[in-house]
Amino acid sequence: MGVLLTPGFLEAEAALVLEVARLLGWERFTLARGRTALEGSAGAVWTPRYTFAARPELNVLVIPGGSQMSKLGRDAEHQDWLSEVWDGLRAVFAGANGVLFLWEAGQVSGQVAAHPIAEEALARTALERSREPYRWQGKVCTTRGYLALAGALLDWAGFAEEARAHLGLGS
């Protein structure tokens, strides 16, 4: 499972999904366009383990929310990389406003789940915000982020309700 780090990414989402993947026994790693350290939205600095060009096989992608999601979705290097890996992905999970990245990259349409922080940005698109904690479109799962992101990942992995409750993620 790869977690995409972007400038201003939501550290809480990235850390939470990495911990869920660890508990599930999955291989997990962070990746970004380059190897330089990235500052998250809360000020923590993370250095990605891999770059777009030098990374292991990727079959699950998590896109935490962040401050520049629309802009990065329009970025040619991000779009080229996403196109390169898209067919090999089994699932793509978008955090709080990660759906904006996927929208700009042409990978979602219609009704999507997103955190209320994305409401204003979504109003400038043809997307409609669902009130569900997460919503699937093919292999793409848009979420309200944070605990909904972790819950969607656990549900996709086939985790029982009891296990989710044990982890404090609710139902």
Q: What is the pLDDT of residues 24-73, one digit of tens each?
A: 999 999 999 999 999 999 999 999 999 999 988 999 999 999 999 999 99
- Quick one: pLDDT at residue 162? 52
Half-sphere exposure of 35 (CA within 13 A, CB side): 5
Per residue in 112-166, pLDDT (tens digit) is 999 999 989 999 999 999 989 999 999 999 999 999 999 999 999 987 565 556 5
* Displacement of CA 167 from its chain's centroid (Å): 20
- Maximal CA-CA distance, the chain: 43
pTM of the full structure: 0.92
The fold for domain 2-163 equals: Rossmann fold (3.40.50)
